[in-house]
A and B are shown apart, each in its own frame.
Chain A
Amino acid sequence: MKLVTAVIKPHKWEDVREALETFGVTGMTVSEVSGYGRQKGHTEVYRGAEYDIALVPKIRVEIVVDDGDADDVVGIVVKTAQTGRIGDGKVWVSPVDAVVRVRTGDRDASAL
Chain B
Amino acid sequence: MDGYYAFMLVATAFVLMMTVPALALFYGGMSRSKSVLNMIMMSFIAAAIVGILYVAVGWSMGWSGNGTFFADPFALVMLNGVETSDYIYVMFQMTFAIITVALISGAIADRVKFSAWVLFIPFWAVLVYFPMAHMVFSCTDDSLICGRIGAQDYAGGTAVHINAGVAALVLAVVIGKRVGWPKDKMRPHNLTLTMLGAGMLWLGWYGFNVGSIVFSEESLADEGLLMEQFYSETGRTFANTTLATMAAILGWLVVERLMHGKATSLGAASGIVAGLVAITPAAGAVDIEGALAIGAIAGALCAVAVGWKFKLGLDDSLDVVGVHLVGGIAGTVLIGFFSTSDGAGGVDGLFYGGGTDSLVAQVLGVLVAVAYSGVITAVLALAIKFTLGWRMNEDDEVGGADLAQHGESAYDLHTGVGGGVKSSVIAGATSAAPNEGART
Question: Which A residues lie at the B interface, using CB under 8 A?
Answer: 44-51
The answer to whether A47 touches B262, judged by C-beta atoms less than 8 angstroms apart, is: no
**Looking at the complex, which one of B185, B261, B262, B306 makes contact with A51 (CB distance below 8 Å)?**
B185
| 5 chain-A/chain-B pairs, Cβ below 8 angstroms | A45-B264, A46-B266, A47-B266, A47-B306, A47-B322
Q: How many residues of B contact A (CB 8 A)?
A: 18
Which of B187, B307, B322 counts the most A-chain CB atoms under 10 A from its CB?
Answer: B187
The residues of A that contact B262 with a CB separation of less than 8 Å are 45
Q: How far is the CB of A7 from chain B (nearest CB, A)?
A: 21
User: Chain A binding site: helix, strand, loop or mixed by DSSP?
Assistant: strand
15 other A-B residue contacts (CB within 8 Å) besides A45-B264, A46-B188, A47-B266: A45-B256, A45-B260, A45-B262, A46-B185, A46-B187, A47-B303, A47-B306, A48-B256, A48-B259, A48-B307, A49-B185, A49-B187, A49-B307, A49-B310, A51-B187
The residues of A that contact B266 with a CB separation of less than 8 Å are 46-47
List the 10 closest pairs (A to B, CB-CB), nearest first: A48-B307, A47-B306, A45-B260, A49-B185, A51-B187, A46-B187, A46-B266, A48-B260, A47-B266, A51-B185
The residues of B that contact A46 with a CB separation of less than 8 Å are 185, 187-188, 264, 266
Q: How far is the CB of A32 from chain B (nearest CB, A)?
A: 11
Once A and B bind, how many residue pairs between them come within 8 Å at the CB atom? 33
B244-275 residues with Cβ-Cβ distance < 8 A to A are: 256, 259-262, 264, 266-267, 270
The answer to whether B267 touches A47, judged by C-beta atoms less than 8 angstroms apart, is: yes
The residues of A that contact B187 with a CB separation of less than 8 Å are 44, 46, 49, 51
**Docked pose: A47 CA to B319 CA in angstroms:** 9
The answer to whether B270 touches A47, judged by C-beta atoms less than 8 angstroms apart, is: yes
The residues of A that contact B259 with a CB separation of less than 8 Å are 48
The residues of B that contact A49 with a CB separation of less than 8 Å are 185, 187, 307, 310
Q: How far is the CB of B178 from chain A (nearest CB, A)?
A: 14
Q: How far is the CB of B382 from chain A (nearest CB, A)?
A: 29
Closest to B270 in A: A47
Q: How far is the CB of A43 from chain B (nearest CB, A)?
A: 10
The residues of B that contact A44 with a CB separation of less than 8 Å are 187
Q: How far is the CB of A62 from chain B (nearest CB, A)?
A: 17
Q: How far is the CB of B383 from chain A (nearest CB, A)?
A: 32
The residues of A that contact B185 with a CB separation of less than 8 Å are 46, 49, 51
B177-224 residues with Cβ-Cβ distance < 8 A to A are: 185, 187-188
The residues of B that contact A48 with a CB separation of less than 8 Å are 256, 259-260, 303, 306-307
The residues of A that contact B306 with a CB separation of less than 8 Å are 47-48
The residues of B that contact A50 with a CB separation of less than 8 Å are 260
**Docked pose: A47 CA to B266 CA in angstroms:** 7
B68-96 residues with Cβ-Cβ distance < 8 A to A are: none
Q: How far is the CB of B327 from chain A (nearest CB, A)?
A: 14
**Docked pose: A50 CA to B322 CA in angstroms:** 17
Which of A48, A50, A51 counts the most B-chain CB atoms under 10 A from its CB?
Answer: A48
